[in-house]
Amino acid sequence: MDSKKIYPRTGDKETVYLKSTITRTNIIVGDFTMYNDFVNDPTEFEKNNVIYHYPINNDKLIIGKYCSIACGAKFMFTSGNHNMTSISTYPFPIFYEEWELSVSNITDAWDNNGDIVIGNDVWIGYEAVIMQGVRIGDGAIIGTRAVVTRDVPPYTIVGGIPAKEIRKRFSEEVAVKLIKLQWWNWDDKTIQKNLTNIIRGNVNLLEKI
């Protein structure tokens, strides 16, 4: 296993280990998280999929380990907002030269909702949109073209516009066990040794490790 490679599958240039393609310090991605793109170059994820993510805001995109991100998923950041408390939603501070405003107040043009934080083992579906400030728990599933405007609890499936809970993936008892196990933090050899139980959902056997 080598999480530092870019292309994990021989002959497949549409799927990448995302961490190996990231250059921005304000994007943090965990080991083995993969991104597939059959439309654009998947190595340009941070250019094409992380939207309005300007350094001036100091907000971050944090994605955990073993996540699966489908083609066209977007992460929409603060600078795509407009100020909702202002009398006008027009972004006057952006055009500080035109209106003789201070450049230091440019961030007054939008509301700042903070970081986007994605847990571990999260599956984000085709062309889903994750809005600024959202936190998605471990093991969650985001449906195709969902627009996620609120936090998503662990091991919860959501879909729609705006995204709403469809159902839980597991019982609360099983979800608690999985969160406690945190198998994604095991070393590669331990995960490989227990892949059969992980793939088949044998939670009780994993608990014995």
Residue 91: cis peptide before it, omega within 30 degrees of 0: no
**Residue 57 amino acid letter:** N
Closest CA to 66 of 35, 37, 36, 34: 34
**141 to 37, 125, 160, 168: CA distances (angstroms):** 18, 8, 12, 10
**193 to 67, 77, 134, 206: CA distances (angstroms):** 20, 39, 34, 11
Please confirm, yes or no, whether 53 is among the known catalytic residues.
no
Out of 60, 82, 145, 177, pick the active-site residue: 82
Catalytic residues: 82
